[in-house]
Structure 1
Amino acid sequence: MKYAFITFAIVMMAAALSSSSNSHVGASPRRLIKRAMTIAQCFKISGTTPGRGFQAVSSITLGALDLDFSDPDPLKITLSSPDMKVGVIPGLPVPITGARQNVILVDKGVEIATFNTPWVPGVMNGNVLETTVGSTTLNVNYANQDQFSAFIASLTTNPAHTFTLKGTVDVNFTLTLPFSVRTITIDGIYFESDVTLKGFSNFPGIQFVELIEKTENADKSFTIKSKVNIKSASQLSVKMGDVRFNTFDAVSSEPIGVTTLEQLNLVPGDNFIIAVTTSTSATTNPHDIFTRVSKNGEKFRLKGFAASSATDTILGNGIAAVETTVDIPILDKAA
């Protein structure tokens, strides 16, 4: 670590000497050393924790976060963010032009996942590095799958959720010398910051849009296929695939069947989804329910369960906490 800091200080001295289009010409050695020290002081060694490098990051803000659960391996989730802002401690004078990160996702003190990002461009705006998180794989810690499901549950059911990102970031910056321009890389800048994202709040106010078709079979089982709109105020965009919910009468809790939200892909704003409600063996009076909903309408209560996702057990366990409602109008009138 000592030698890394010495190397870093030398690079920072070079940056100081190269700044402001030859403004160093004629400057006294004292002034040059002071300028280099100003740069070097932007980075601090966190000497109490093994593995930490230079610490210059004061905050991390995600304007949005994209998660894709379509990978066949439930321990691998595709992650990206089009809007990431990294606050650095005041006084950093070097123009950072790109960054990559090695990140640990921590929730309630437990390290639940890791991801490494590719190099992406960055722009300094004051003391804030404006950048993105390129598409990468979020690797869930096998031993902490339940904690990761709890993380998903909190993001899905709450208005907001706070977690921690920590790790190291490597940065590129441009070094302008009297006779050349070079790109310098500084590795291992340690960071640790709480991040808060708006969640889905249990998908409030699912709106029935239109009836596509309804069918009652000879054995009195039924299928109701409709289009619904899920309005999302979350900063999350997620691809979950087909997601199933046990469905009940919202007033009496009478079992109605299972509702599948087909290819549940959610982005901020309106999300028009195909919803298919089918009776099951738990539906005690399917003909009566089908007739009642067709003629009178009904409020359905949708509740997640462990197998809500047929292909992703970690996601399914996270969605199990979801409980929401949707008002079904008189279907004979809607048809």
Structure 2
Amino acid sequence: MNPLDFTENDASGLQPYEQFERLEYEALAEKKRKALSQCQFEGLAKKARHEDDSQAIFDEIMETMNHRRRRKSRKRKKSGRRKGLKNKLSPEVTRKLGEANLHYAHGRYEEAILVLKEVVRLAPNLPDAYHTFGLVYNAFGDKKRALNFYMLAAHLTPKDSSLWKLLVTWSIEQGNTGQARYCLSKAITADPEDISLRFHRASLYVELGEYQKAAESYEQISQLFPENVEAPKTGAKLYKKCGQVERSVSILEDYIKDHPTKADLSIVDMLAAVCMENNVHDRALQHIEHAQLLYCSGKDLPLHLTIKAGICHIHLGNIEKAEVVTSLL
């Protein structure tokens, strides 16, 4: 199979990113089968460890497609191999790549394409060629084809978060939400500290109607960035939408536990509301009184929490306490 075939939909209509998803899934499944077989053979019962290995997987895919090239050892596939590969480019490939870039710089796009095809034939794992292909087709105004070539380049340089982020932006511009989601996941792997990427992916899940995945994404954001208030609140709403009330309560309670001296009272208000809606008034009251003790010592509770406390007392049959609370309004 020619690597350039990945820039087109395949015979079954799969888009390039879907082809990559399928091949990555198949490669991971094969690795798991081999690992399981090895464990059974050795009589081991170790827990499998999952690691991001997208570069190694993609290299294996590219080697499979390039039938004429000699299969390289796995040892050369470890980190740092891209630098080593570039240093070992043949003079012919280096010359042709420079020639293609020169054609592009002078607007000779058709000539650039012909030379780049030859570069891909000689060095199918070289990301520079696909990146230049992307530049050429973008100059042609064919942004969809350009994106597909950048996708190839990105898979060969999976830690280049800027390229994945560009693919996210272009995918959204083209209205391809599935592809945007795929590229967002890759961008997050490349730059796990960029919280905006995680929020973007979570909101995309909501747009696609995948509320469970969206809720889990917001919960993950809450765990990784505990100072963020919006993540647990949005996650709680989505868990509730999925009918998972206990998980909705849990994500809010976890936020409060992580902030024993100072918490956002809007979290307490939402937590109390969820508990009250599910007739767990004693639990709601417990959270309100806990908030008053820790966060509002010497001060009055906000009005909305005071009203909720009074309603809870009524439902629990504490009429006198309810009257005391409501008298403060």
Same fold (TM over 0.5): no
- The two structures have a TM-score, normalised by structure 1, of 0.25
Q: Choose between structure 1 and 2: higher helix proportion.
A: 2
Question: Normalization by structure 2: what TM-score?
Answer: 0.25
Flag the structure with higher strand content: 1
**Structure of greater relative contact order (alpha carbons < 8 Å, 6+ residues apart):** 1
